[in-house]
Structure 1
């Protein structure tokens, strides 16, 4: 069934309200990640790196936390405008109603399984909406950039590290 004009307008208005709320919550611009954002990113990183991370235990938690720290470092090095855009995305994903509507995850991120988070990420990756594909790309690039930016992850891909002695 195709949504009608009224449904389209309602959805647009609701999306506008959610974006306004996210922008208001993130009006400060450049800032540190909140605990809720770190929790959301931990769930995303855990799903993105599911085949690489240990399936459970303290080592998994340590590696996820290190990767989230790397994401925070990467975000802090971006332009203020890009930080604001990412803050809006993160803000939407941590607000429970928006998380349910946008990601289909009704429970807090700390309670979401790797499979549930993976399903939402795949839905965004293959979405017909370019905006969701772009949001997926940002989460993907930040997660993998932070993971492979750490020298202790290079051995798994046989990367010897950056060239030395050329400068």
Structure 2
């Protein structure tokens, strides 16, 4: 679904807007109800075309900013940050949940320690994990546990 929206937005950007295409483009970007709430129904065809172009430009700026934010540079030192925005791995062995300072060894040989206090018992053998950037640190989401918990890389 996301790729369809993206292709549509790219097509809209490179299309010269006629009255009909501006209406269609705006209709596909913003629901009729929301257009009415925003007063788009009072705009001329040219103004509607400009709004559609603006929405696409804002989308592209957001997409570029998202790509930049996803590029995490690894600081120097043994306990550096991961080199990608999301790490997918598995816990090496059993997981008994979060106890406050839980240390987790992953199958990719990284070792992470819990930094955010959270207690939750959950037994699992080699559950999958996702580690992602959140604010100024990282969060680990363990398969079968609802809450993602703050962690830092030890090795």
Structure exhibiting the larger radius of gyration computed from Cα positions:
2
| Alignment TM-score, normalising by the size of structure 1 | 0.24
Instruction: Give the structure with the larger strand fraction.
Output: 2
Answer 1 or 2: higher relative contact order, Cα 8 Å, separation at least 6: 1
Instruction: Give the structure with the larger helix fraction.
Output: 1
| Alignment TM-score, normalising by the size of structure 2 | 0.26
